């Protein structure tokens, strides 16, 4: 029986390449991006790649648009792909932009709202709840063309893993710390380079198999 994994995230799920300039919009090819590599490591699974650059947890972005709000669009995405067995949820990096004025604890609680939306969605098999793998993104750097946008975010990001782990425990869902396997690129301090794609795919495949069979 085929099972479905929804990968819900931001530009680092979309496959955005490290940016040397703010105008760059490069994206790794399908054969390089971690969701595609993950699919090859999970026979019997359909892996859905749902990454939007700039996506936040629960915030309408006053500059980039309200459609970046990950909570507001999540119900439609869940319903469009149901039944979904597992949601791999990796968000929080864009919340570190100084325009949102939130800390690591706020981001952890925001992710709880997303997990709760999955759990009440009735978009799992038999109209049940999809299971969740909650992923903490690695700490960011304030460097390159995105440094001003994320001013003050690097220090906040150091506490992100612990706060997201606590959120996962409160919600009773599986947790993975991406910082154990990847780091952000020194080019822009936000995005992941090509070798990181394989590292993430391997770590996610192991976690999906371990937690969900």
Stated pTM of the model? 0.97
Q: How many residues does the chain have?
A: 213
Per residue in 19-59, pLDDT (tens digit) is 999 999 999 999 999 999 999 999 999 999 999 999 999 99
pLDDT above 90 (res 213): no
Distance of CA 182 to the CA centre of its chain: 13
Residue 27: C-alpha distances to residues 30, 58, 146, 193, 194 (Å): 9, 25, 17, 11, 11
Distance of CA 201 to the CA centre of its chain: 13
Q: List domains and CATH numbers for the chain.
A: 3-212 (3.40.50.1110)
Query: Is there a contact between 62 and 99 (Cβ–Cβ < 8 Å)?
Result: yes
Query: Is there a contact between 94 and 56 (Cβ–Cβ < 8 Å)?
Result: yes
Share of the chain above pLDDT 70, in %: 100
């Amino acid at each position: 029986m085929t099972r479905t994994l929804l990968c819900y995230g931001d530009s680092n799920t979309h496959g955005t390449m490290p940016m040397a300039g703010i105008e760059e919009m490069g994206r790794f090819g399908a054969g390089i991006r971690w969701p595609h590599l993950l699919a090859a490591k999970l026979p019997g699974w359909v892996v859905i790649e749902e990454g939007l650059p700039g996506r936040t947890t629960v915030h309408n972005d006053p500059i980039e648009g309200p459609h970046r709000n990950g909570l507001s669009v999540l119900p439609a995405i869940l319903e469009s792909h149901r039944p979904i067995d597992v949601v791999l949820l990796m968000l929080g990096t864009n919340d570190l932009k100084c325009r949102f004025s939130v800390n690591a604890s706020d981001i952890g609680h925001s992710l709880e709202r997303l997990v709760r939306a999955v759990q009440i969605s009735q978009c799992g098999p038999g109209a049940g709840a999809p299971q969740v793998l909650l992923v903490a993104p690695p700490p960011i750097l304030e460097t390159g063309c995105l440094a001003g946008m994320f001013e003050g975010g690097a220090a906040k990001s150091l506490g992100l893993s612990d706060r997201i782990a606590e959120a996962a425990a409160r919600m009773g869902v599986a947790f993975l710390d991406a910082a154990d396997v990847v780091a952000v690129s020194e080019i822009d301090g936000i995005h992941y380079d090509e070798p990181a794609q394989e590292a993430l795919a391997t770590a996610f495949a192991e976690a999906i198999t371990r937690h969900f069979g």
